[in-house]
Amino acid sequence: MGKDPENKGTSNLPNTLTIFRMVSIPVVVICLTFPGKLGSFLAAAFFGLAFITDILDGYFARKYGSITVLGKFLDPLADKILVSVTMIMLISLNRIPTWVVILIIAREMAITGLRSIAVDEGIVIQASDLGKFKTIFQATALSGLCLHYEYFDVNFHVVGMFFLWIALILTMWSGWAYFRQYIQVFFPKKNKK
């Protein structure tokens, strides 16, 4: 009997990296509760490390064909929780505008809902390149906003806000692209006018 390409095992490297990302979420939260540079630096370090594991788990899953049901569930969930919780913590520290966080989280919830409906109908709405760029800019922005303070004459709050505005544009743009793709798939006749 050959190997099942849809590896059902849960103990593999990609899943381990995803679980590490989940575990890092409360660590980032705890670090952000400490005032001053040290807590902010540690929060940024753990957040950055968690984002790197996101890149690595996808790479290893594709390279070794170790895609699991658990991984398919946990990977996007870990990303969304990490980003959402970090942004919410940054609101309490007055490092990020509340309305930006609301827009980003609302977009994530809406797109997750649309993709769930599509999956129920047997249709897969693929992640776009815009969505990938959005993730990169969000992670860069939040790393900068976690750092917040000035290091080596660089004001990381300003850097973080710069990348946040780009991330917000990409978030809304990619959200619209998903929504348009959903409309084209589910209501094709209405788009043939």
Would you say residue 53 lies in a domain?
Answer: yes
What is residue 9's predicted lDDT score, i.e. its pLDDT?
44
What is residue 189's predicted lDDT score, i.e. its pLDDT?
60
Yes or no: say if 164 and 83 are a contact pair by the CB < 8 Å rule: no
Would you say residue 7 lies in a domain?
Answer: no
Would you say residue 103 lies in a domain?
Answer: yes
**Residue 21's CATH number:** 1.20.120.1760
Yes or no: say if 191 and 168 are a contact pair by the CB < 8 Å rule: no
Secondary structure (DSSP) of 132-183: HHHHHHHHHHHHHHHH-SEETTEEHHHHHHHHHHHHHHHHHHHHHHHHHHHH
Rg (CA), the chain: 18
Yes or no: say if 7 and 110 are a contact pair by the CB < 8 Å rule: no
Q: d(Cα 49, Cα 188) in Å, to the nearest integer?
A: 42
Would you say residue 88 lies in a domain?
Answer: yes
What is residue 177's predicted lDDT score, i.e. its pLDDT?
83
Q: Residue 133's closest CA among 95, 100, 171? A: 171
**Average pLDDT along the chain, 193 residues, taken 10 residues at a time:** 44 76 93 93 94 78 66 75 94 95 93 77 70 89 94 93 96 86 71 49
Question: What is the span of the domain harbouring residue 171?
Answer: 13-187
User: Dihedral of CA 54/58/61/67: which sign?
Assistant: positive
In the structure encoding, which two tokens stand for residue 80, read together? 């969304």
Contacts of 9 (CB under 8 A, 6+ apart): 66, 68
Would you say residue 171 lies in a domain?
Answer: yes
Would you say residue 97 lies in a domain?
Answer: yes
Would you say residue 3 lies in a domain?
Answer: no
What is residue 8's predicted lDDT score, i.e. its pLDDT?
47
**Domain total in the chain:** 1
Full-prediction pTM beyond 0.75? yes
Helix (H), strand (E) counts: the chain: 6, 2
Would you say residue 182 lies in a domain?
Answer: yes
Task: Please report, for residues 97, 103, 129, 181, the alpha-carbon distance to residue 87 in angstroms, rounded to integers and kept in the order given.
Answer: 9, 11, 23, 28
Side chain identity at residue 67, one-letter code: I
